[in-house]
Amino acid sequence: MKNLQKTILWILVILPAIYLLIQWNSFGDEVPLHWNLKGEVDRYGSPKELWIVGMIPFFIYFIFWLIPKIDPKNKILEMGKKYDQLKFLLVGMTSLLCLYLLYAIHKGRMVNTEMIFFFVGLVFIILGNYLPSIRPNYFVGIRTPWTLENNDVWKDTHRLGGKLFVMLGLLTILLSLTINIQQFFWIFFALILISVGYLFYYSYAKFQDYQ
């Protein structure tokens, strides 16, 4: 089962690059490379820049591979199967999003910003479900001075962070499908700033409680 999961993961990782290789000669001299909030193209460039998109899943996979190797206390490995599951889900989601962008560019279609934020919402939900299982470490998680100093503060903050991330993910999906994308953009970043700020304060307050 583990070997099957690795095989599927590697298929997902290389899908964007394979798509680029297969369709390379049909991209033309210039391709759309950037869109505004309305989904309209506002920058064109060389197809060679598309390899940045095609290689993103490799980069994400490399980060997940590297972290356990350089973790001085091996705390990441204490997550066990959950770390592999998180890697599979996030790398897979990233790969599918990159594949969607390359497909839209190749077909000359307007990029659906609602679809992108739908993917973002799913990522937040995935992270929210795994945050409580992350052990104190130097690389992954809500790393404030107080969570790194006290294991109980780490646990409490990540338990709350998990709930907030799931709520943020659900709101992201709901709002992206129901309101104007320009309005959503500012609401989305306001929610992120509020969530991050509250978690930062919460970890400080919890640390004081444990003193």
Nearest to 147 by CA among 211, 64, 203, 195: 203
At 168 the pLDDT is: 93
What pLDDT digit, counting tens, does each position of 45-63 carry? 888 889 999 999 999 999 9
Q: Give the distance from CA 140 to its chain's centroid.
A: 13
At 39 the pLDDT is: 62
At 110 the pLDDT is: 60
Who contacts 16 (Cβ-Cβ below 8 Å, separation ≥6)? Answer: 53, 54, 56, 57, 95, 98, 99, 102
User: Which long-range contacts does 144-149 make (Cβ < 8 Å, 24+ apart)?
Assistant: 144/199, 144/200, 144/203, 144/204, 146/203, 146/204, 146/206, 146/207, 147/203, 149/207
Amino acid identity at 32: P
DSSP 136-172: S-SSSS---HHHHH-HHHHHHHHHHHHHHHHHHHHHH
At 58 the pLDDT is: 94
Strand partners, 45: 31
Q: Is the pTM value of this prediction over 0.85?
A: no
At 45 the pLDDT is: 80
Number of Cβ within 10 Å of residue 135's Cβ equals: 19
What pLDDT digit, counting tens, does each position of 65-95 carry? 998 888 887 878 778 788 888 899 899 999 9
Terminal-residue alpha carbon distance, the chain: 46
At 125 the pLDDT is: 93
**Positions in the chain whose pLDDT score sits under 70:** 1-2, 35-40, 108-112
At 37 the pLDDT is: 63
Residue 19 structure tokens = 């798509």
